[in-house]
Structure 1
């Protein structure tokens, strides 16, 4: 991608107008939608700041795309409101909202050149030809496509076609850009490249972006905040760091980072915001926690990368190594914990050790108290 100029940065020469930052705030209140008696979006509330990148993340059927379609106006909500900079657009025609929309399918006009595809939204809006040429040129240059204006879509790679689809949205400066899994059709290398480009453009233009994906890594890379969704509801709306380090429900802990879960009971709550938890496997684990009382059943969650292979006198869990898989930058190990009930899945451990354990070896696991999440038995997930 070429250096961002024109569209993204203040004018380098006299007579070239600076691009205004176009993002506007977006608010959703009590948004609901049901189909044939089945609720698919169940009371969504959120406030998105102007220039913020927010991602809806969740498994299939969690309500991500339906919520996005209601924001766009393609689907009418049963109840609730959508406002942009305080203006109610809930019942407004999609065309009058003037939002940008980027789909997984590129939907480029095959008979048009790249330049003509990008110019099309401006022609619909009746802009003068000189203004259209200027904006198209700036937008193509900003996304590294200035040399492709005369090519047809069939002459482009998948990543280039997706950039053209993005250009067609950016060229008319929408107040909000909605993206529905736009990188799903690309291979991993192209996805990684496009993630960097989309985030760079979004930041420099100050775009308000609402993005849908089921890819946890993609959400973490792109987002200022992430709404983790399940069964039409938002489980947690937080920063990537907040979600990863302080999940509020077992579902969030497991969906974002594939946490290991162990059951136990609170043995001794401390005055320092920590508690000793006696695991059902027999080990003792210290964790920072929300308020709980001695004897209370809990589940603790530890991410694979947070388990450490430590000496026996410091361990919270002992077990036997079942598998060891080398995956380049780290080694993935599964451990069958001692004392686990039949049917209990093995614990997953990720280590960067140059001397990882071997299959069949006895190991001792421990975790830092700040890396343990505690959930009471009343919390679902």
Structure 2
């Protein structure tokens, strides 16, 4: 290993910016026997965009990532990176960066040597190699650990080394397959911040796979919510959470309450639903057939308490659970089914008492209306 300065500099060197390239996926399909794992998936990802594939096990998110990486050959469709068709190229010829959940570091190499390895394979001149490795370690806060070996590092530090190894040769796209899944929550939150910071500093195009909804919301510019090999909705985190287009998306991102009823009135400004409990709830305007059976969907954190008799329903507080900065409350609505409970998330300190009668209300902008078909809790691939 060449001589290096193990002391971090007072100011980090300015890295190259805008290294990410756009990626286009068209009609990507993969089957295994009679099972369709990915079904005609298409998307356009801009240069420098952070996109997450979000879904439960078997939804097709990892298979799609593996086809982009080249580890899995599609039955049909195309993958274009920066205007270059890579659909049939071997993984090493695509030039993409990959970060796995398992760190896969070379145990006999130091941190510096692990990070330098991809550049050595590409015959990068020594002076340039030193500069790039130094910049990348500095950016990840690992300069002082350059001489350590993986066994001398914590899990979070090892994952940062794995990230540096993928970043150091400035690939056009970085692919990440649940890279933080093995870490505890506090460390995972810290590394989420680091990953997003580095991605923005370098202008990286990132495709990230996770089943963790909160992680996807924190990191992503856009999220592809996947189910049964299809993309249910591909949108910004705010649009997905505030304006889900399907019951599955509403349920998967936030576990929405689905309140059964019948469409009573609609206009360009609002949709009015008569709930089975007797009350009226107002939603933002949506196209639903007159008189149709529907379910009004609203996230627990978008509900508020009001005096009994006001709002869209009155009920009795069944449970109150303290979870730190908020409390989770369930309310059994008057006139509801025996098993029906409405879930709320309220700021800590504003919890009602067990057995208290309360009213419930919601801003129409936060209420979606869907045909009366509940999402299948077992679905998701």
Residue 205 (structure 1) aligned with residue 212 (structure 2):
no
Are residues 1:108 and 2:115 paired?
A: no
Equivalent residue runs for 1:280-299 within 5 Å: 280-299=276-295
Q: 1:164 to 1:7 in 2, by over 3 A?
A: farther
- Secondary structure of residue in 2 paired with 1:298: strand
Structure 1 residue 216 and structure 2 residue 213: aligned? Answer: yes
Tell me if 1:321 matches 2:328: no
The answer (yes or no) to whether the contact 2:251–2:375 under 8 Å persists in 1 is no
Map of 1:164 onto structure 2? 161
Query: Quick check: 282-291 or 253-262, which moved more?
Result: 282-291
Which deviations, in whole Å up to 9, do the C-alpha atoms of 1:166-224 show, x marking residues without a partner? 11011111000000000011111111110001000001100000000001111011000
TM-score by length of 1: 0.93
Verify: 1:5 aligned to 2:12, yes or no. yes
The equivalent of 1:361 in structure 2 is 356
Deviation of 1:292 after TM superposition, in Å, equals 2.4
Structure 1 CA distance, aligned partners of 2:76 and 2:361?
49
Instruction: Describe the SS at the equivalent of 2:234.
Output: strand
Residues 3 and 142 of structure 1 are in contact (CA less than 8 Å); yes or no, is this contact kept in structure 2? no
Q: Which residue of 1 aligns with 2:35?
A: 38
**Aligned counterpart, 2:332:** 336
1:135 aligns with one of 116, 132, 137:
132
Cα distance in 2 for residues equivalent to 1:110 and 1:321? 56
Contact 1:122 1:171 in 2 (8 A): yes
* Mean Cα deviation higher: 19-28 or 163-172: 19-28
Count how many residue pairs are aligned between Structure 1 and Structure 2: 369
| Cα distance in 1, alignment partners of residues 120 and 172 from structure 2 | 19
Deviation at 1:311, TM superposition (A): 1.9
Question: Residue 24 of structure 1 contacts residue 49 of structure 1 at CA under 8 Å; is this kept in 2?
Answer: yes
**Structure 2 match to 1:254:** 251
- Pairs within 5 Å for 1:215-234: 215-234=212-231
Query: In the alignment, is the contact (CA less than 8 A) between 1:331 and 1:350 conserved in 2?
Result: yes
Residue 105 of structure 1 and its aligned partner are, at CA, apart by 0.5
Which residue of structure 2 aligns with residue 15 of structure 1?
none
Per the alignment, residue 58 of structure 1 pairs with 55
1:194 aligns with 2:201: no
Q: TM-score, normalised by structure 2?
A: 0.93
Map of 2:365 onto structure 1: 370
Worse-superposed segment, 222-231 or 320-329? 320-329
Shift of 1:340: 2.1
User: Which stretches in structure 2 are left out of the alignment for 5+ residues?
Assistant: 1-7, 377-381
In 1, the alpha carbon distance for the partners of 2:323 and 2:165 equals 39
**Runs of 4+ off more than 4 Å:** 1-4, 378-381
Contact 2:271 2:286 in 1 (8 A): no
Residue of structure 1 in register with 2:69 after alignment: 72
How far the C-alpha of 1:22 sits from its partner, in A, is 1.1
User: Which of residues 285, 293, 299 in structure 2 aligns to 1:303?
Assistant: 299
Give deviations 1:275-329, integer Å, cap 9, x for gaps: 2210011111111131224311111101101111112343211221111011111
Larger mean CA deviation between 369-378 and 278-287 belongs to 369-378
CA 1:319/1:121 → structure 2, altered by over 3 Å: closer, same or farther? same
What's 1:81 paired with? 78
Structure 1 residues 378, 329: CA separation in 2 closer, same or farther (over 3 Å shift)?
closer
Contact 1:269 1:293 in 2 (8 A): no
With over 3 angstroms needed to count, the CA separation of the structure-2 counterparts of 1:200 and 1:4, relative to structure 1, is farther
From 341, 345, 350, give the equivalent of 2:345: 350
Inter-partner Cα distance in structure 2 for 1:339 and 1:258 = 23
Which stretch shifts more, 294-303 or 108-117?
A: 294-303
Displacement after TM superposition at 1:20 (Å): 4.4
Task: Give the Cα separation in 2 of the matches to 1:297 and 1:170.
Answer: 52
